[in-house]
Amino acid sequence: MSGCGCSSTTVKFDGMSKAYRRVLWLVIAVNAAMFAVEMGAGFLAGSKALQADALDFLGDTATYGLSLLVIGMAAPVRARAALFKGVSLAVMGAWVLGSTVYGVLVTGLPRAEIMGGIGLLALAANLFSVLVLMKWKDGDANVRSVWLCSRNDAIGNVAVMLAAGGVWASSTAWPDLAVAGLMAGLFLWSSALIIRQARAELAEAKHCHAPAE
């Protein structure tokens, strides 16, 4: 319907591509495997930063699965899925922040060698995900949320390795806790970006489908 403010220039990639689906399945498998590896290593090393990054892997696995599920559905459904993922990311950030505060009060010294080794492995996995998803980083809220989560992971892995170096150099847990806190902030910021875009797309869809007066 002309004049409804829904011109084709506002349309973004919605995931309707066989190549994108294949890449998404591959990234889901990589993230699920890395969650198991990194969470186990996080507990073994006593590292809050590793555990926070592992939780991000788990969140990404669920996020990507939901993204795959809603591909091809109506724009409001995809936007609501992205909104749900944004809220979930905020909850994850709050959990990591609370866990970090607890770690400040009750914590032992993390094992820097495990943190560094696993952080390097996770960085390789996430750089792979970022590279294969690069082509679709500017899609709709549902597609963009996948890109943002992958980017967060890569940043988080670099931070974990920096934390490992800080723990080794200072013989204290503070670098690990500081990185976990920064990662919590990154989760919350990305959540706000996803929620803002999803709400805008929901509002646009509602406007476009409103009956003409």
Q: What is the pLDDT of residues 30-50, one digit of tens each?
A: 989 988 888 888 888 777 667
3-state class (DSSP) for residue 133:
helix
CA–CA separation, 212 vs 148, rounded Å? 36
- How large a percentage of the chain has pLDDT more than 70? 84
Reading the block at residue 139, the tokens are: 């899609």
Q: Phi/psi at 59 (nearest 5 deg)?
A: -60, -40
Residue 25 has pLDDT above 90, yes or no: yes
By the 8 A CB rule, do 28 and 62 touch? no
Helix (H, G, I), strand (E, B) or coil at 60: helix
What pLDDT score was predicted for residue 4? 37
Output helix, strand, coil percentages for the chain, rounded to the nearest 5. Answer: 80, 0, 20
Every domain of the chain and the residues it spans:
15-208
Tell me the pLDDT of the chain averaged across its residues. Answer: 77
* pLDDT of res. 7: 42
For residue 132, the number of C-alpha atoms closer than 13 Å in the C-beta half-sphere is 16
For residue 152, count CB atoms less than 10 angstroms from its CB and return exposed for 0-12, middle for 13-18, buried for 19 or more.
buried
Mean pLDDT check: name the lowest of 4-13, 88-97, 182-191.
4-13
Q: What is the pTM of this model?
A: 0.64
Half-sphere exposure of 187 (CA within 13 A, CB side): 27
Which pLDDT value is given to residue 33?
Answer: 92
Output the CA–CA distances (angstroms, integers) from residue 11 to 7, 15, 140, in the order listed. Answer: 8, 12, 8
Residue 146, SS3 per DSSP: helix
Report which residue type is found at 126. Answer: N
- Confidence label for 28 from pLDDT (cuts 50, 70 and 90): very high
Q: For residue 7, what are the contacts with CB-CB under 8 A and spacing of at least 6? A: none
56 neighbors 153 (Cβ within 8 angstroms): yes
pLDDT of res. 1: 35
Outline where 46-173 has alpha helix (H).
Answer: 48-70, 75-105, 112-133, 141-170
Mean pLDDT of 132-146: 80
Residue 170 has pLDDT above 50, yes or no: yes
| Residues 156 and 164 sit within 8 Å (Cβ to Cβ) | no
b (16+ CB within 10 A) / e for 102-125: ebeeebeebbbebbbebbeebbeb
